[in-house]
Amino acid sequence: MSRPIRDVVLVDAVRTPFGKAGATGLYAQTRADDLVVAAFRELLRRNPTLSPDRIDDVAVAATTQIGDQGLTLGRTAGILAGFPRSVPGQSVDRMCAGAMTAVTNLAGGIAFGAYDVVVASGVEHMGRHPMGEGIDPNPRFVAEHLVDTEALVMGKTAENLHDRLPHLSRVRADEFALSSQEKTAKAYADGVIPADLAPVAIRDAQQGWGVATVDEPPRPGTSLAALAALKTPFRAHGRVTAGNSAGLNDGATAAVLASADTARELELSIKARLVSFAYAGVEPEVMGLGPVPSTQKALAKAGLTIEDIGLFEINEAFAVQVLAFLDHFGLSDDDPRVNPFGGAIAVGHPLASSGIRLMAYLAKSFERRPEVQYGLTTMCIGLGMGGTVIWENPHFDGRTS
């Protein structure tokens, strides 16, 4: 029996404000699953024509799936958010690309016809669960030299990327980081970022209850001089600093996807149409190169070239990783099509949540740029991978960008 492949659309995407991980961070006394619940409830509030009983599956990603990030979050967070018991759920892990993978996995189900409407999500509470907590790597990785030990420390892989591509200097990395801070500050001032933030009730044992409504990590007063003075924690006289990297953060994201027909039936918005996606592997020691082959694969599957892409949302795990992507595809460091609202260096990167944050930013750009037909979201992934999703702008008016 043959069946048609259905168009998959992004209906909506939201996130909690991102916090700084640690004992004094925004969410130090807030549970990870409660962050997911806040994002879920905001999605339903923003989409009143979507009855929760129409949700066919829920996938929540987390890199460290223990404690309040364990117990099959897709199911437990759905119940906590008030979804009907008939709505199933699952957990996903592809390290930093967890939310991206939750989206693409569920999108495949929509395209195949198994689902009509789904909710994808990602969360990371790095304050409660530092990356790598509780893991037990197989000793063969070291004994058989399968992977260099530096591959297990993301900051060291970024230093390795600087080594391999020495023209990507610390100065260029710092300049890119400053730009991310400045663009984020402008996006806040213009009301772009706050529009998609789900407020979160937070608790402090001394100060009582409060509400998180803005991101904690941005440093709007950053200067090149201040960035140049920062230490290089991963290597003496290195090039990777806290200023030209994403921080350790807490936060959650969530998105509704649907078949195009179902979105129209339920009178849901359509913010983007999924065109293609791809994941690729690279040497774990230079995992920042991952977005290059994943983008090449995604473009080939879509029958497109890099020249067809009018907007880029690239996760800024490290500035050098973004610069490597830009250099490979012949894009300038200050290309206005790249991360127009800033990125993770400023706003934060709570690991598994960030893929949907990229999609939310791209959707905002699509609304403002009807002359752009295609955009992409891409990110490097721990242990040497990359992921890319190509999207079509539903507001495209046929003009030449």
Q: Is residue 129 annotated as part of the catalytic site, yes or no?
A: no
CA distance 290 to 280: 7
β-bridge mates for residue 389, sequence order = 277, 377
Q: Which of 96, 125, 129, 162 is catalytic?
A: 96
The answer to whether 109 touches 92, Cβ cutoff 8 Å, is: no
∠ CA 85-91-92, rounded to 5°: 150
Q: Which of 125, 129, 162, 349 is catalytic?
A: 349
CA distance 358 to 340: 11
Quick one: which of 189, 366, 388 has its CA closest to 297?
Answer: 388
189-212 b/e (C-beta count within 10 Å ≥ 16 → b): eeebbeebbbebebeeeeeeeeeb
Side-chain half-sphere CA neighbours of 75 within 13 A: 9
Q: Which of 125, 129, 162, 380 is catalytic?
A: 380
The answer to whether 87 touches 78, Cβ cutoff 8 Å, is: yes
83-103 b/e (C-beta count within 10 Å ≥ 16 → b): beeebebbbbebbbbbbbbbb
H helix intervals, 246-400: 260-265, 291-302, 319-328, 344-347, 354-368
∠ CA 240-22-320, rounded to 5°: 15
CA distance 164 to 160: 6
**Which residue is associated with the tokens 């960035």?**
227
Q: Is residue 380 annotated as part of the catalytic site, yes or no?
A: yes
Residues involved in catalysis = 96, 349, 380
